[in-house]
Amino acid sequence: MVATYVNPNANEQLLVKVGDGASPEVFTAPVLINTTRSLQLTGNAVATVIPRTDDVSAPGKTVRGVSSVDWQVSGAGILHVGDDKTYTDWLLTGAAKNVKVVNNKTGGVILTGSAVLTAFEISGGEVAGKLTCTLTLMGADIPAATATA
């Protein structure tokens, strides 16, 4: 029997790109997201207990449905010079921007949607070290999902 293996994706293949708001819109990957990144999709479930009709004292069954969907992107890295002002301004305005999250491998997903910046943190460490940052984007609307070519 021939062994088969998972075809893995490299970490750097998950790209977070932010739109510039122009027409046509250009999406670029922020330089400051250079160490870790993640995409989380959430279906908010609603549970309903359906009672039995043959024996109302017996336990019913639980059925679930998704009442809404949500998404969130997180990223971190070494702070690129100038990005602190750019991302501070974005957070302070509360503006939504178009974002693409791309699994840059054939057959991967491209998630495109409007998002708001909900957290931006700058951290310093040891003397002679480099500033790091983390950010969180939350979906402002339902995103569209397409496949990479």
Mean pLDDT of the chain: 92
Encode pLDDT of 18-27 as tens digits.
999 999 999 9
Q: What is the pLDDT of residue 107?
A: 80
Question: Per-residue pLDDT for 35 more than 80?
Answer: yes
Question: Per-residue pLDDT for 105 more than 90?
Answer: no
Question: Per-residue pLDDT for 95 more than 80?
Answer: yes
Average pLDDT rounded to a whole number, residues 87-111: 92
Summarize the chain as % helix, strand, coil (round to 5): 10, 50, 40
Q: What is the pLDDT of residue 91?
A: 97
Banded model confidence at residue 115, pLDDT cuts 50, 70, 90: very high
CATH value of 11-42+70-147 in 3.90.600.10, 3.40.50.2000, 2.30.110.20, 3.40.47.10: 2.30.110.20
- CA-CA distances (angstroms) from residue 86 to 62, 93, 99, 122? 48, 11, 15, 13
Exposed e or buried b for every residue in 28-54, given b needs 16+ CB within 10 A?
A: ebbebbbeebebeeeeeeeeeeeeeee
Q: What is the pLDDT of residue 110?
A: 92
What are the boundaries of each domain within the chain? Answer: 11-42+70-147
Q: What is the pLDDT of residue 127?
A: 72
Average pLDDT rounded to a whole number, residues 105-112: 87
Q: What is the pLDDT of residue 142?
A: 94
Q: What is the pLDDT of residue 22?
A: 94
Of 36-50, 55-69, 96-110, 130-144, the one with minimum mean pLDDT is 96-110
Question: Per-residue pLDDT for 66 more than 90?
Answer: yes
